[in-house]
Amino acid sequence: MNKGNHKNVSTIDEYEIRLTGLYEEYYDKIARYVYVHIGDREEAEDIAGEVFLKALKSLKSYREQGVPMQGWLFRIAHNLTVDYLRKMDKRRSAPIDSVVLLGNDDPVDTAEKNIEFERVTEAMKQLTTEQREVITLRFFGGFTSKEVGGILGKGDGAVREMQRAAIEKLRGTMGVQK
């Protein structure tokens, strides 16, 4: 039994309440964050649900230490996303390349959306892994640069610099493709 990991019941209760309170807002955000990485909406939604179950199970290991609980949820989401991509990789499929958006809308509109999706996805793939994390956490997680810094273990100045470089690269790639 690990003594350093003990938390009293009231702390765990409080964490449970906080986690429950985050569900409605962060389920959607996490689903979008995962979607950016794996390109499959249904799977992204399943993983978002799994994040909360995993968080509940691991509440004892949650430590505040400057990272808010919502940041911790995104860490879990990141790990589950990596697991998912690893599985997909073992199955020799490239999820982000093979995605085609399905829709019941006008076929021209759907085709245009697919082209746009490919354009943006291709640009996202040109980013470094860290730049992609900064962009997804800022654009879809709704975190401030300081909070992203806390999650990634970087200073907020470094995050701002990485963010600008990432958007410039996105702009360059998307501009060239247009």
Q: Which of 11, 168, 176, 177 binds another protein (CB under 8 A)?
A: 168
Q: Is 10 helix (H, G, I), strand (E, B) or coil?
A: helix
Please tell me whether residue 125 binds another protein under the rule CB under 8 A.
Answer: no
Burial of 46 (0-12, 13-18, 19+ CB in 10 A): middle
Shortest approach of another protein to residue 107 CB, angstroms?
19
Q: Which of 53, 94, 111, 176 binds another protein (CB under 8 A)?
A: 53
Instruction: Evaluate the CA torsion angle 126, 130, 135, 137 in order and state its sign.
Output: positive
Q: Which of 21, 56, 105, 106 binds another protein (CB under 8 A)?
A: 56
Question: By rule CB under 8 A, what string of x and - marks binding of each residue 61-100 to another protein?
Answer: x----------x-xxx-xx--xx--xx--xx---------
* Contact positions with another protein (CB under 8 A) in 140-159: 140, 142, 144-145, 151-153, 157
Structure tokens at 14: 């409080």
| Phi-psi region at 65: left, alpha or beta (left = phi > 0; alpha = psi -120 to 50) | left
- The count of chain residues that interact with another protein, using the rule CB under 8 A, is 71
Residue with tokens 């689903």: 31
Helix locations, 66-106, DSSP H? 69-90
Please tell me whether residue 122 binds another protein under the rule CB under 8 A.
Answer: no
Please tell me whether residue 58 binds another protein under the rule CB under 8 A.
Answer: yes
* Contact positions with another protein (CB under 8 A) in 25-44: 27-28, 31-32, 35-36, 41-42, 44
CB 116 within 8 A of CB 100: no
